[in-house]
Amino acid sequence: MTTTAAPPPSYHSKIDSKNVNRALKSLLKWRDSKSNPRNSEPLDNNNSSSDGGFVYLVVTLKKPPQIDRTNPITIPLPHPLIDLAESPPPELCLIIDDKHKNKITKETALKKIEAEKVPITAVIKVSKLKTELKKLEVEEGRRHGHEVYFAERRLMPMLPKLLGKEFVKRKKSPIAINLRSGNWKEQVERVCESALFFVGTGTCSVVKVAKLSMGRKEIAENVVAVMEGIAGSIPGGWKNVNLFHLKLLESLALPVYESV
């Protein structure tokens, strides 16, 4: 497993659920006020694939933690953002290294995915990545593209240059998985069932925590789980947490926790 899982909290929670619910109530009221009066649809049109269809947790730490920044910390969610059982299935793409002498071929990868029922819907060879990206840009414009990109771990250093800044802007940075050992299906499913906390070089990070199509109770449960998971996974724990805010894509950020 290449992602880092957040450990279960072993401390007394400092989260006030009333603050979380108060912020959510205000954000959802704001979202409803932005509904299109012509069709009475909410701002996100209930499309969980759109960046506008999510709730975000803004994390402000006191000191940037000195931990691995290559892969995200995975925080298990009570209500996953990606439903692997939905029909049609979510679009999950795997980028493989076909240039290495000990390469895994696309044919081999596809056979393993089918045999082990790994929830990957597309495989791209890194040698064809630039060509495939042009096709993906068309797909992105038509149907939001793939929900998550995975990549063979040894490819990670070269991918930012190959993928370009737009992938980073769209929060589509690939997540490394170990294709040489370990259970592919378990690694993919773990990511799909978790919030992904990418630790930046500064003190502020943004984590996608819930879909607007969820009920307010489900969203609140996800928010609390992620707050607990972050505090339980960073050096210093709650002592290193300065602020937590909740926001929608285009809304103001509302405070839900402030260090005393």
For residue range 59-86, list pLDDT tens digits in order.
999 998 887 666 889 999 999 999 998 8
pLDDT at position 12 is 52
* pLDDT at residue 86 in the model: 86
Kindly give the residue spans of alpha helices, DSSP state H, lying in 120-206.
129-143, 159-163, 165-169, 184-192
Q: Has residue 37 got a pLDDT over 50?
A: yes
105 shares a domain with 185: yes
Q: Is residue 140 part of a domain?
A: yes
Q: Which of 3-12, 15-24, 60-69, 117-126 has the lowest mean pLDDT?
A: 3-12
Q: Are 184 and 105 found together in one domain?
A: yes
d(CA 228, CA 12): 10
CATH number of the domain where residue 203 is located: 3.30.190.20
What percent of the residues of the chain are helix, what percent strand, and what percent coil, each to the nearest 5?
35, 20, 45
- 163 and 202 belong to one structural domain: no
The 10 Å Cβ neighbour count of residue 10 is 7
If you average pLDDT over residues 215-237, what whole number do you get?
Answer: 95
Q: Considering the chain, what percentage of its residues have pLDDT values greater than 90?
A: 57
Mean pLDDT (the chain) is: 84
Share of the chain above pLDDT 70, in %: 81
Stretch among 166-180, 185-199, 207-221 having the lowest mean pLDDT = 166-180
What pLDDT is recorded for position 45?
Answer: 41
8-state DSSP, 186: H
The pTM is what?
A: 0.83
C-beta of residue 9 within 8 angstroms of C-beta of residue 228? yes
87 domain residue, yes or no: no
| In a domain? residue 86 | no
Domain's final residue, options 176, 192, 208: 192
pLDDT at 162: 85
Q: Which two tokens stand for residue 20?
A: 């979380």
**Domain finish residue from 150, 165, 192:** 192
Average pLDDT over residues 17-23: 96
Helix, strand or coil for residue 189? helix
Write down the pLDDT at residue 4: 61
Return d(Cα 11, Cα 240) in angstroms, integer.
Answer: 14
Q: Which of 173, 192, 211 lies at the terminal end of a domain, its last residue? A: 192
Angle between the N-to-C axes of helices 216-233 and 17-33, in degrees from 0 to 180, rounded to the nearest 10: 130
pLDDT for residue 130? 80
Pair (129, 161) in one structural domain: yes
**For residue 123, what are the domain limits?**
92-192
Q: What is the model's pLDDT at position 67? A: 74
Predicted confidence band of residue 132 (pLDDT cuts 50, 70, 90)? confident
pLDDT band at 48 (very low <50, low <70, confident <90, very high): very low
What's the average model confidence in pLDDT over 171-185?
85
Instruction: Examine the domain organization and report whether 153 and 122 are in the same domain.
Output: yes
The CA–CA distances, whole Å, from 27 to 138, 184, 207, 253 equal 32, 37, 16, 9
Residues 97 and 178 in one domain: yes
Sheet holding 73-76, edge to edge: 4-5, 73-76, 194-197
Q: Is residue 60 part of a domain?
A: yes
The CATH number of residue 152's host domain is 3.40.50.790
Residues 109 and 120 placed together within one structural domain of the fold? yes
pLDDT at 136 over 70: no
Same domain, 112 and 159: yes
pLDDT in the model for residue 240: 94
Q: How many structural domains are present in the chain?
A: 2
Q: Are 146 and 122 in contact (CB under 8 A)?
A: yes
